[in-house]
Amino acid sequence: MNCLFCKIINNEIPAKIVYRDDKVLVFDDINPQAPQHKLIIPLKHIATINELLVEDNVLIGHMTQTAKKLAQELNIANEGYRIVMNCNAGAGQTVFHIHMHLLGGRTLHWPPG
């Protein structure tokens, strides 16, 4: 498999990892769009949201709970933060391994673009 995020999971490519458990890995985005910009990825390879199975619902919930926990630890929970998942190239997905962006540390405007 030639998946960038799977290579990060397997320590084949370096990343600034900030959290890891038995379901997810979190690291700093290499092109941050906010002072705090983390990527939350599942250890399980799933290319896009369209490939999610019903049994992955717990995994997506765990990703969201991880985002909430990190927002609190990064002191952005009270001022506000955004979590985003893109699906396919037309929505901005560039790495085809589902991931959640956690952004905060500045005012985030809407619409994003």
Residue positions annotated with a catalytic role: 99
CB atoms within 10 A of CB 63: 23
Radius of gyration of the chain (CA): 14
CB 83 within 8 A of CB 100: yes
Where does the chain have alpha helices with state H?
A: 4-9, 57-73
Cis peptide before 112 (omega within 30 of 0): no
